[in-house]
């Protein structure tokens, strides 16, 4: 049996309202973003999806995905869309 990631009070989640494969759990702490997701590998069933837990520096994410005007515009538009969808639920 695989160890499952335990969500604590400081963990946020994002879901695309699909199966569990559409969920990402994340926490921002001490300049890092730790995140957890599951992915089907090979012929695995969704229920047996492989869990992944990774940590990345927040400054590296900003540098890679929010470093120029075009990226900022694209990310800001996506965030606004997510906020609107969240408000409707």
Q: According to the model, what pLDDT value does residue 1 have? A: 40
Q: Which helix (H) or strand (E) holds 82?
A: helix 69-88
Q: According to the model, what pLDDT value does residue 80 have? A: 87
User: pTM of the full predicted structure?
Assistant: 0.69
- What strands, in cross-sheet order, belong to the sheet with 50-57? 12-15, 23-29, 32-39, 50-57
- Domain borders along the chain are 12-88
Per-residue pLDDT tens, the chain, 89 aa: give them: 445 566 777 888 877 766 777 788 889 999 999 999 888 899 988 888 888 999 999 999 999 999 999 999 999 998 888 766 555 55
Q: According to the model, what pLDDT value does residue 75 have? A: 93
* Residue 89, both tokens: 């639920």
């Amino acid at each position: 049996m695989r160890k499952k990631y335990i969500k604590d009070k400081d963990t946020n989640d994002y879901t695309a309202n699909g199966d569990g494969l559409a969920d990402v759990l994340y926490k921002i702490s001490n300049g890092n973003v730790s995140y957890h997701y599951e992915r089907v590998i090979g012929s695995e069933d969704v229920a047996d999806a492989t869990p992944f837990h990774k940590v990345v520096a927040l400054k590296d994410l900003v540098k890679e995905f929010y470093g120029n005007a075009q990226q900022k515009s694209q990310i800001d538009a996506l965030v606004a869309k997510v906020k609107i969808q969240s408000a409707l639920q």
